[in-house]
Amino acid sequence: LPQLGPHLPPRLTQQPWHLQYSTRRDGFSLRTLYRLGGQRGSPALLLIRDTEAQAFGAFSSSAIRCSSGFYGTGETFLFSFSPELKVFRWTGRNNFFVKGDVNLLMVGGGSGRFGLWLDGDLHRGGS
């Protein structure tokens, strides 16, 4: 996804990326995504294609993982391709970056809503 390159933190622009999780290869499970999601300190790029072929996702400054509270930094952002790339950066209003448990993954929160959410079997979500 070369279009995302300019939006990533400068320290990552020359780093190689590795596919850690794919529903095609690993099945539809948030638990599996957490287990295969990379090392705790490494960044993550979550790319989703829905049943209507819309592509969107999130960049997280740290690996996607199960957590009891929110984690991440202001480098976290959401994006969509519809049809051109749109990037949605941190507003600075709160620190609700990423939170996940076995039933729900949430990215970008505020006012009781989330910028992106996925259920435990990755069959339902919203953005």
pLDDT tens for each residue of 4-42: 989 999 988 888 889 999 999 999 999 999 999 878 778
Range of the domain at 56: 2-126
User: Half-sphere exposure of residue 37, counting CA atoms within 13 Å on the CB side?
Assistant: 24
Instruction: Tell me the H-state helices in 19-123.
Output: 23-26, 30-36
Q: Which two tokens stand for residue 52?
A: 């209507």
**Selection from 53, 94, 104, 60 nearest residue 79 by Cα:** 60
| Identity at 28, one-letter amino acid code | F
* Total of domains in the chain: 1
Confidence of residue 113 (pLDDT cuts 50, 70, 90): confident
| Identity at 57, one-letter amino acid code | G
What is the value of pTM for the model shown? 0.92
For residues 39-64, average pLDDT: 91
pLDDT for residue 16? 87
pLDDT for residue 81? 93
Confidence of residue 83 (pLDDT cuts 50, 70, 90): confident
